[in-house]
Amino acid sequence: EAIPVDSWHKSVCRFCGSGCETRVGVRGGKVVKVEGLQEGWNRGRLCIKGLLNREILYVSDRAQYPMVRKNGQLVRVSWDEALDTAAAGFRDAIAQGGPDAVAFYGSGQLFTQESYTANKLFKGGIGTNNVDGNPRLCMASAAFGYKSVFGADEPSGCYDDIEHATTFFVIGANMAECHPVVWERVRDRIRTAPQTRVIVVDPRRTPTARDATLHLQIRPGTDVALLNAMSYELLRTGLVDRAFIDNFVTFRKGTADAPPLTLEDFQKFLEDYAPEKVADLCGLSSAEIREAARLWGISQAVMSFWTMGLNQQTHGVAANRMMMALHLLTGQIGRPGASPFSLTGQPNAGGGVRDTGSLAHALPAGRLVSKEKDRHEMEKSWGLPEGRISPNPGLSAVPLFEAMREGKVRAALVMATNPARSLPNADRYREGMEKAFLVVCDSIFPTDTAQMADVFLPAAMWAEKEGVFSQSERRYHLVQKLVEPPGEARSDLEILVAFGERLGHGELLKARTPEAVWDEWRRISAGSTYDFTGITYARLKELPGLVWPCPSEDHPGTCHRYVPGKDPLAKKEGRIDFYARPDGRAIVYLSEQGPFREALTSDYPMTLTTGRRLEHWHTATLTGRIPQLQGIDIDYLELHPGDAAVMGVKEGDWVQVTSARGSVRLQAKPSMRVRPGVVFALMHSMKHLVNAATSDSVDPTSGQPEYKVAAVRVEHV
């Protein structure tokens, strides 16, 4: 039976970084229906999480009132008392330890205006670069990869490339479950062009791998070796684009300003990565590696997709660089269907956090805190005296929580995320959260992190506030305010402004409405490689999003970055212009696989890797509360039936997974999905702390932790 609706409004899904566009029906001050927008890139499709966008607004645990901890208990107080207490805690911490004794830990689920304002308040107002967030846990290695290879972050292609690709190379991404609507577009392509090939690289036989022409069931954490071996093979067989390499590529080792090397140097470096030399390490046959290289090399247009499987390892930046290198060696970039394409996990990790520079090392629009010129530009834009922004990069996620443990960071504001459950080696960092003065802002109460708060501030959710989200293809969308938040909940932007005022930074935060902050941010983007001056509120209200660069109000947005004639920032003539690099050339890095950070031993002989399933999201603070999803099992450990038989473990038996850091008990699910020696758990479990066992080793460049590779033992209990 049709649900009566008073009015329909355009919006976007609150969950993953696919960014599916929605039509939202409102009646009587309530959201009553959410469906896919036919004119959107998603062609009206939504996955089950998207269809449940309405339900998350009305779950029973919506946070409604501010609270302050008194005599060990969080008790309801007025907004004034909560904000005064929060500000007093921060002032005390600054008085004792200086500005770097406080921190902001944000989220790819905040609106762009919210992350931008928090970044400005902490870096420009309080004077600390301790601004980081959960995107450090999911996309940092991709961001550092893009920046080091192309000089600018974010992918160069767009979803329309899917209709032109002849080969899809999917590595470290279970798109059928984690980016299902993008995957349906890939499947549309396969259905209409049956000659399309799909190569999937994943230690599990995922639903994505079921559609593969070739599935490489790789040993976790060996992606750099595989991608080097494919490069070796492409060069050996001549399946490279020599003209593209000669005109648009340089070779370097280590950093972007290292001395240039030659193609011959690169080939010599790759001799150690011949397929037969790395096949055992990767757990593959040399024939499989050669076939993957051949399928890539003979393809007209290759589109690669990757996400956490590649990023969440201590070689994450190297793996990202090598993914981009395969495209550069073969000229598979800047043509329809030819694009390296990382998929973002959250609805606004790209636009909200990466673009606004809301990470400890960064400043807005690609600027860095370590560069004097960049700091001065931002000080001028924010009306601050020269020298106000600290030249020292702040603490990224893992060291930040370690500094709380050590008492160096004494107070932190955590917004829209649940680090007590999502951090690796979580028990260690829970100690830090217990110790610090913690202000937690969330739309759900309780969460693991909220329960540790000294001050809890209730936040509005997607349709209860206004702001901009940006998804994986650099498309910005407006999320309109359609209904009132529950109880006394407020938007995160209002909360940040009120908190900043109490700390004496009201003058800095003069832009206070979502539209005013957006306009300020548009002006700051002008002239940068992120230019989206032309993405006005008026256009966002009318159009199904706009893709940057978009430097003027009559510009339609850019599908293919760096392509003269298509990208308004590409000024040179010719096939491509990597304009964010000083010499106009992208870099192929000589990237070593390097040793495993955590070798398998007789005590810890198996590898734990983690991931997601279709119906749930992240630590399930939202999806775990939706009645329709409650019966779905998220508490199991997949292990190979051969390994299970050796242990005498049957389906449903309890097993204990122990790493050098901690243990978690889960129910066994013997499955051919995983390769022998590898076990897999979901990050969603609300009953069991899977992250007690995961590894907090980080990539030395990006600071991203290695969730995907932990040495463990599994015992039948």
> Does residue 284 interact with ligand SF4 by CB under 6 A?
no
477 near ligand SF4, judged by CB under 6 A? no
CB nearer to ligand SF4: give 180 or 316: 180
Instruction: Tell me if 541 sits within 8 A of 37, measured CB to CB.
Output: no
SS3 for 174-202 is: CHHHHCHHHHHHHHHHHHHCCCCEEEEEC
- Closest-CB residue for ligand SF4? 50
Q: Which residue number, 181 or 455, has a Cβ lying nearer to ligand SF4? A: 181
Is residue 337 part of the annotated active site? The answer reads no
By CB under 6 A, name the one of 24, 31, 34, 47 that touches ligand SF4.
47
Q: Where are the alpha helices (DSSP H) in 7-157?
A: 48-51, 53-57, 79-97, 112-119, 135-138, 140-150
> Using the rule CB under 6 A, which residue among 10, 11, 13, 37 binds ligand SF4?
13
Which of these segments, 45-53, 279-287, 320-328, 459-467, binds ligand SF4 (CB under 6 A)?
45-53
For residues 121 to 140, the per-residue mask of contacts with ligand SF4, x marking binding by CB under 6 A and - elsewhere, is --------------------
HSE-up of residue 189 (Cα within 13 Å, Cβ side): 24
SS3 for 339?
A: strand
For 294, phi and psi rounded to 5 degrees?
-65, -45
Whichever of 89 and 172 has its CB closer to ligand SF4, that residue is: 172
- Distance between CA atoms of 153 and 529, rounded to whole angstroms? 9
Which of 124, 309, 345, 624 is catalytic? The answer is 345
Residue written as tokens 């990470």? 359
Q: How far is CA 522 from the centre of its chain?
A: 22
Which of 217, 312, 346, 593 is catalytic? The answer is: 346
Contacts with ligand SF4: how many residues (CB under 6 A)? 13
What is the nearest approach in angstroms of ligand SF4 to the Cβ of residue 479? Answer: 12
Q: Given the complex with ligand SF4, which of 49 and 290 has the nearer CB atom? A: 49
Stretch that binds ligand SF4, among 9-17, 166-174, 191-199, 529-537 (CB under 6 A): 9-17
Separation CA 439–CA 515 (nearest Å): 26
Annotation marks residue 282 as catalytic: no
Q: Which stretch binds ligand SF4 (CB under 6 A): 13-21, 208-216, 239-247, 350-358?
A: 13-21
Amino acid at 468: V
Instruction: Show Cβ contacts of residue 480 under 8 Å, excluding neighbours closer than 6 positions.
Output: 9, 10, 11, 463, 466, 541
Rounded distance, CA 483 to CA 491, Å? 12
Residue 84 is encoded by which pair of tokens? Answer: 């005064």
Distance between CA atoms of residues 26 and 483, nearest Å: 8
Q: Does 109 bind ligand SF4 (CB under 6 A)?
A: no
Closest distance to ligand SF4 from the beta carbon of 166 (Å): 24
15 scored as a contact of ligand SF4 (CB under 6 A): yes
Q: Residue 19 interacts with ligand SF4 (CB under 6 A)?
A: yes
Report the nearest approach of ligand SF4 to the CB of residue 251 (Å).
37
Q: Which stretch binds ligand SF4 (CB under 6 A): 14-22, 219-227, 567-575, 662-670?
A: 14-22
Specify the stretch interacting with ligand SF4 by CB under 6 A; choose among 10-18, 215-223, 265-273, 376-384. Answer: 10-18
415 has catalytic annotation: no
| CB-nearer residue toward ligand SF4: 46 or 629 | 46
* Under rule CB under 6 A, residue 50 binds ligand SF4: yes
Nearer to ligand SF4, 231 or 307 (CB): 307
Q: How far is the CB of 617 from ligand SF4 (least distance, A)?
A: 7
- Compare residues 13 and 325 and give the one whose CB is closer to ligand SF4: 13
* Closer Cβ to ligand SF4, 18 or 417, answer by number: 18
* Residue 46 binds ligand SF4, judged by CB under 6 A: yes
49 is catalytic: yes
Q: Fill in the amino acid letter for 635.
A: D
Least spacing, CB of residue 34 vs ligand SF4, in Å: 9
Antiparallel, parallel or unpaired: β 73-76 and 102-106: unpaired
The residue among 37 and 227 lying less far from ligand SF4, judged by its C-beta, is 37
Count of C-beta atoms within a 10 Å radius of residue 238: 8
Select from 46-54, 317-325, 412-420, 588-596 the region that touches ligand SF4 (CB under 6 A): 46-54
324 near ligand SF4 (CB under 6 A): no
652 is catalytic: no
Please, which residue, 53 or 609, has the CB nearer to ligand SF4? 53
For 648: left if phi > 0, alpha if psi spans -120 to 50, otherwise beta; the answer is: left
User: Do residues 608 and 713 make contact, with C-beta atoms less than 8 angstroms apart?
Assistant: no
Q: Are 317 and 699 in contact (CB under 8 A)?
A: yes
Angstrom distance (rounded) from CA 284 to CA 299: 22
Burial of 125 (0-12, 13-18, 19+ CB in 10 A): buried
3-state secondary structure of 118: helix
Contact 665, 688 (CB under 8 A): yes
Candidates 42-50, 96-104, 109-117, 288-296; binding stretch for ligand SF4 (CB under 6 A): 42-50
Residues ≥6 apart with Cβ < 8 Å to 630: 624
Footprint of ligand SF4 on residues 172-211 (CB under 6 A)? 179-181
Could you say whether residue 545 binds ligand SF4 (CB under 6 A)? no
Q: Select 47 or 319, whichever has its Cβ closest to ligand SF4.
A: 47
Distance CA(405)–CA(434), nearest Å, equals 8
Q: Is 684 in the site for ligand SF4 (CB under 6 A)?
A: no
What contacts 24+ positions apart, CB below 8 Å, involve 355-358? 355/112, 355/153, 355/154, 355/470, 355/525, 355/530, 356/112, 356/115, 356/116, 356/119, 356/521, 357/119, 358/106, 358/115, 358/116, 358/118, 358/119, 358/131, 358/133
Residue 16 touches ligand SF4, criterion: CB under 6 A? yes
Considering only 49, 315, 585, 669, the residue that binds ligand SF4 (CB under 6 A) is 49
Q: Is 20 a catalytic residue?
A: no
Which residues of this protein are in contact with ligand SF4, per CB under 6 A? 13, 15-16, 18-20, 46-47, 49-50, 179-181
Residues labelled as active-site residues: 49, 138-139, 308, 345-346
